[in-house]
């Protein structure tokens, strides 16, 4: 975030004659880039937040570096339009910005973020979702549980281990598919291997996309124990492959899973272990009487061939053009 403008300003200058619009992620210090390439002032700039550093949770021993949040703020100030990948992402940013602004020197006056709000919108990510054959049906006995997330602190893999331990204590049959960066290396994944190695069908990051999708299709349930999620790509992918999602009800997931899914697809994050085990203990009945069709249809709406229309519309609006009616 801090070095991108210095490293790539030359490349941006070289391509300016052919540039109609600049689309950058929130990792780019857009204000510094515009300072280094002044000609960008005359080019429409769209800033896309697939995450935000004001709301991302710290590890316990860390203190927040507010300069990353301030970089977001500077970038927003020079952007012509600001997109967030979810309403949850946008709201979490604005809430933390409100807290941060109270720390600004009073001699600067009151920070007014209403100007930023006027140029904000929410546009989901576009996803690459391949055509897949029908996934295996649940056999009614042994639940194939998937973890395909990062093994980082915000995903709380330790809680996932607690869920598995309680399932085992309650004699619930399960097998495991452990994917995601850090699988087989993170301490929690190693502990899962030590305690439940005989039940692990696969453990490790898959480089091959076809292998990744094949493993997703072998799972019955995808579990998220996250305390923080801006969108939920890994769960979207699992749902597309036919997995039953079990996710917290206070994060971005509910924007596409639905708010009335308590005890079916969502659970209260404050009591996650017991609630997840309770749902999984009754999974056979839940599977028989509930359909995934509506959630799978929502996930399919994020495919790039559909989302590209929304992005094209935004870019044309930023260029002050009208899309020809066809």
pLDDT tens digit sequence for 4-43: 788 888 888 998 888 999 999 999 999 999 999 999 999 9
- Residue 140 backbone dihedrals phi, psi, to 5 degrees: 85, 0
Neighbours of 143 (CB within 10 A): 22
pLDDT of residue 8: 85
pLDDT of residue 67: 81
Identical topology for domains 4-126+304-318 and 143-300: yes
Regions of the chain where pLDDT drops below 50: 322-326
The DSSP H or E segment spanning 317 is: helix 304-318
Domain 143-300, CATH? 3.40.50.2000
At 175-204, the pLDDT tens digits run 999 998 888 889 999 999 999 999 999 999
pLDDT of residue 5: 84
Neighbours of 107 (CB within 10 A): 5
pLDDT of residue 103: 76
How far apart (Å, rounded) are the C-alpha atoms in residues 117 and 79? Answer: 12
pLDDT of residue 325: 38
Query: Residue 33 in contact with residue 308, Cβ under 8 Å?
Result: no
- As given in the structure block, the two tokens for residue 92 are 């979490």
Query: Residue 69 in contact with residue 37, Cβ under 8 Å?
Result: no
Concatenated DSSP letters of 84-102? ESSHHHHHHHHHHHHHHHT
Domain 4-126+304-318, CATH? 3.40.50.2000
Query: Residue 174 in contact with residue 143, Cβ under 8 Å?
Result: yes
Crossing angle of the two packed helices 209-217 and 233-240, in degrees rounded to 10: 70
Segments making up each domain of the chain, as ranges: 4-126+304-318, 143-300
pLDDT of residue 315: 95
- As given in the structure block, the two tokens for residue 187 are 């301490």
The candidate with the shortest Cα–Cα distance to 147, out of 98, 199, 97, 111, is 199
């Amino acid at each position: 975030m801090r070095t991108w403008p210095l490293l790539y300003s030359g490349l941006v200058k070289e391509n300016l004659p052919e540039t109609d619009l600049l689309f950058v992620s929130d990792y780019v210090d857009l204000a510094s880039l515009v300072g280094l390439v002044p000609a960008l002032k005359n080019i429409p700039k769209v800033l896309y937040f697939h995450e935000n550093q004001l709301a991302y949770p710290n590890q316990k021993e860390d203190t927040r570096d507010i300069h990353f949040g301030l970089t977001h703020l500077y970038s927003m100030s020079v952007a012509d339009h600001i997109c967030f990948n979810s309403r949850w992402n946008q709201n979490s940013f604005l809430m933390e910005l409100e807290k941060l602004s109270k720390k600004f020197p009073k001699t600067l006056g009151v920070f007014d973020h209403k100007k930023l709000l006027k140029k904000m919108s929410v546009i989901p990510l576009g996803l690459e979702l391949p055509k897949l054959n029908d996934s295996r049906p649940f056999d009614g006995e042994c639940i194939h549980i998937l973890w395909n997330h990062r093994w980082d602190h915000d995903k709380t893999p330790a809680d996932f281990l607690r869920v598995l331990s309680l399932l085992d204590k309650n004699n619930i049959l399960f097998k495991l598919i452990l994917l995601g960066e850090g699988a087989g290396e993170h301490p929690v994944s190693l502990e899962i291997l030590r305690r439940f190695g005989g039940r692990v069908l696969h453990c490790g990051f898959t480089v091959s996309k076809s292998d990744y999708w094949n493993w997703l299709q072998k799972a019955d349930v995808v579990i998220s124990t996250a305390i923080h999620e801006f969108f939920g790509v890994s769960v979207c992918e699992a749902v597309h492959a036919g997995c039953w999602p079990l996710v917290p009800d206070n994060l971005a997931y509910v924007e596409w899973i639905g708010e009335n899914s308590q005890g079916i697809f969502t659970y209260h994050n404050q009591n996650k272990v017991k609630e997840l085990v309770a749902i999984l203990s009754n999974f056979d009945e839940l599977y028989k009487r509930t359909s995934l069709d509506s959630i799978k249809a929502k996930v399919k709406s994020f495919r790039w061939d559909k989302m590209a229309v929304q992005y094209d519309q935004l870019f044309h609006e930023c260029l002050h053009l009208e899309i020809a009616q066809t």
